Structure 1
Amino acid sequence: MTTTELAASAAAVRRRRRLAPYGFLAPAMVLFALFLALPIGYALYLSLRTVKVSGLGLGKGARTEIWAGFTNYTAALTDPEFIASVVRVTLYGLLLVPTMLGLALLFALLLDSRRTCGKGVSKIAIFLPYAVPAVIASLLWGFLYLPGVSPFYYVFEKLGWDVPDILSAQWVVFAIANIGLWGGVGFNMLVIYTSLKSIPSELYEAARLDGASEIGIALRIKIPIAMPSLILTFLFSMVATLQVFAEPMTLRPLTNTISSTWSPLMKVYRDAFTRDDIYSASATSVVIAVATFVLSFGFLLLVQNRAFAQESRS
Structure 2
Amino acid sequence: MTAVPTPATTPPGPASARSRRAARRRRFTGAALAAPFALLLLCTVLIPIGYAFYLSLFADRLSGLGFDGYRQVLTGFDNYTDVLADPAARDSVANVARYAAIHIPVMFGGALLIALLLNSATVRLRQLWSLAVFLPYAVPGVIAGLIWGYLYSPGIGPLADVLPFDPFGESGVLPSIVNMATWQWTGYNVIIFYTALQTVPRDVLEAARADGAGALRTALSIKIPMIRPTIFVALVFTTIGSLQLFTEPMVLRTFTGAVTSTWTPSLYIYDAAFIRNDYGRAAAASILLALASALLSALVMRLSSRRSR
TM-score (norm 1): 0.87
> How many corresponding residue pairs?
296
- 1 CA distance for matches of 2:238 and 2:33? 33
CA apart distance, 1:228 = 1.3
C-alpha contact 1:109 1:218 (8 A) present in aligned 2: yes
Partners of 2:133 and 2:186 within 8 A in 1: yes
Greater Cα shift, 48-57 or 127-136: 48-57
Of Structure 1 and Structure 2, which has the larger fraction of its residues in helix?
1
Q: Distance in 2 between matches of 1:186 and 1:63?
A: 49
Within 1, Cα distance between the matches of 2:143 and 2:58? 37
User: Are the aligned partners of 1:138 and 1:179 in contact in 2 as well (CA < 8 Å)?
Assistant: yes
Q: 1:210–1:32: structure 2 CA closer, same or farther, 3 Å change rule? A: closer
Amino acid at match of 2:299: G
The residue matched to 1:254 in structure 2 has which SS? coil
Q: Deviations over 1:51-89 (max 9, x none)?
A: 231245333xx4222221111111101100000000011
Corresponding residue for residue 35 of structure 1: 44
How far does residue 151 in structure 1 lie from its aligned partner after superposition? 3.2
Deviations 1:98-118 (A, max 9, x none): 000000110011111111122
Following the alignment from structure 2 to structure 1, what is the Cα–Cα distance between the partners of residues 130 and 44? 36
Matched, 1:219 2:232: no
The answer to whether the Cα contact below 8 Å between 2:245 and 2:264 also exists between their aligned partners in 1 is yes
What residue is the counterpart of 2:290 in the other structure? 289
SS in 1 for 2:59: strand
Q: What SS is found at the alignment partner of 2:253?
A: helix
1:18-60 per-position Cα deviation (integer Å, ceiling 9, x unaligned): 334333433433333223211110101111112231245333x
> How far 1:205 moved relative to its partner?
1.4
1:131 aligns with 2:133: no
Mark the runs of 5 or more structure 1 residues left unpaired by the alignment: 1-5, 310-314
Percent of residue pairs identical: 39
- What amino acid is the match of 1:105? L
- How far does the alpha carbon of each residue in 1:212-246 deviate from its partner, in whole angstroms, 9 at most, with x for none? 11111111111111211211121111111000001
Asked whether 1:102 is paired with 2:123, we answer no
User: Does the 8 A contact of 1:111 with 1:119 survive in 2?
Assistant: yes
Which residue does the alignment assign to 1:180? 181
Shift of 1:17: 5.5
8 Å contact from structure 2 (residues 152, 158) kept in 1: no
Partner of 2:9: none
3-state SS, counterpart of residue 207 of structure 1: helix
Q: Determine which of 92, 111, 117 is the counterpart of 1:85.
A: 92
C-alpha distance 252-56 of structure 1, shift in aligned 2 (>3 A): farther
Flag the structure with larger Rg: 2
| Alignment-derived partner of residue 45 in structure 1 | 54
The root-mean-square deviation of aligned C-alpha atoms, in Å, is 2.3
Q: Is the 8 A contact 1:47 1:280 kept in 2?
A: yes
- Deviation at 1:13? 8.2
2:271 paired residue number: 270
Q: What's the CA shift for 1:15?
A: 4.7
Query: Aligned pair in 2 of structure 1 residues 27, 116: CA closer, same or farther (>3 Å)?
Result: closer
Q: Distance in 1 between matches of 2:303 and 2:242?
A: 19
Q: How far apart are the structure 1 equivalents of 2:281 and 2:181? A: 28
